[in-house]
């Protein structure tokens, strides 16, 4: 038997209570998400083995808040934002828990919303309604892209690599299913470059050897960059 309840007070507490009941999955589509307590709750659930999928608007209000969405992705959850040109589609405010409970209404998951006149409807055991919302979630997901932040990129911690290599072009690597920086030169070539730079510095200490220094510099540039 399904149950419908209209909530106009203590909405955040209601959402937290339903999230805590999740044992299988949580699907969330909310335009704005800045409530750290709600975010902590879904991260805890993801960490316990519940699959969490989140779609939020690609808006500054989300990414300039205290929430680090990479925390959820690092735990194995999914965070998506609408693709460019699809921004206007993201006005949703609903959540499906375990494919059986639906929360939807005017309540954005923000700190400010706790003090506004908002409302949500809580529906349990209505599987047809839950499936309808899940269908809408996946339709929306199809026009979204996964959110990644540069703080997730794997930059080598080795001081040696940091000295000899440059990292740029933050891109998606389909072979690893991760975003990261491209390594633009090898440690070995970096060491060779350093040796020649040391030799060049030595010759420049003596004015009469400038021609030799120029020859060495040209040779180094040609061997390292033209022959790679």
Please tell me the pTM assigned to this model.
0.65
pLDDT above 80 (res 129) = yes
pLDDT above 60 (res 93) = yes
CB 95 within 8 A of CB 26: yes
Spatial distance between the Cα atoms of 204 and 44, rounded to a whole number of angstroms: 61
Each residue of 55-87: pLDDT tens digit?
999 888 888 889 999 999 999 999 999 886 655
The three-state (H, E, C) secondary structure of 164-222, written as one string: HCCEEEEEEECCCCEEEEEECCCHHHHHHHHHHHHHHHHHCCCHHHHHHHHHHHHHHHH
CA 221: distance to chain centroid?
A: 38
CATH topology of domain 3-152: Endonuclease; Chain A (3.30.870)
Each residue of 108-118: pLDDT tens digit?
999 999 888 88
The predicted model gives 17-26 an average pLDDT of 96
Each residue of 142-199: pLDDT tens digit?
988 887 554 444 444 444 444 444 444 444 444 444 444 444 444 455 555 566 566 6
CB 74 within 8 A of CB 178: no
Percent of all residues in the chain with a pLDDT value above 70, rounded to a whole number: 61
């Amino acid at each position: 038997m399904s149950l419908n309840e209209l909530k106009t007070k203590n909405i955040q507490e209601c959402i937290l209570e339903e999230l805590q009941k999740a044992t299988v999955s949580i699907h969330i589509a909310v335009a704005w998400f800045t409530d750290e307590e709600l975010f902590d709750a879904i991260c805890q659930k993801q960490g316990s083995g519940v699959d969490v999928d989140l779609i939020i608007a690609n808006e500054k209000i989300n990414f300039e808040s205290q929430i680090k969405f990479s925390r959820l992705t690092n735990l194995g959850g999914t965070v998506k934002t609408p693709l460019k040109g699809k921004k206007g589609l993201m006005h949703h405010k609903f959540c499906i828990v375990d494919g059986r409970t639906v929360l939807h209404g005017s309540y954005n998951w923000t700190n400010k919303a706790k003090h506004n006149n908002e409302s949500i409807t809580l529906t349990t055991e209505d599987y047809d309604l839950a499936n309808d919302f899940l269908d809408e979630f996946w339709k929306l997901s199809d026009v979204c892209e996964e959110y990644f932040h540069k703080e997730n990129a794997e930059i080598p911690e080795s001081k040696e690599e940091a000295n000899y290599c440059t990292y740029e072009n933050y891109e998606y690597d389909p072979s690893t299913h991760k975003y990261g920086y491209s390594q633009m030169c090898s440690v070995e070539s970096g060491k060779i470059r350093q040796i020649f730079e040391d030799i060049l510095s030595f010759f420049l200490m003596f004015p009469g050897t400038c021609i030799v220094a120029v020859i060495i510099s040209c040779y180094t540039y040609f061997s390292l960059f033209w022959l790679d």
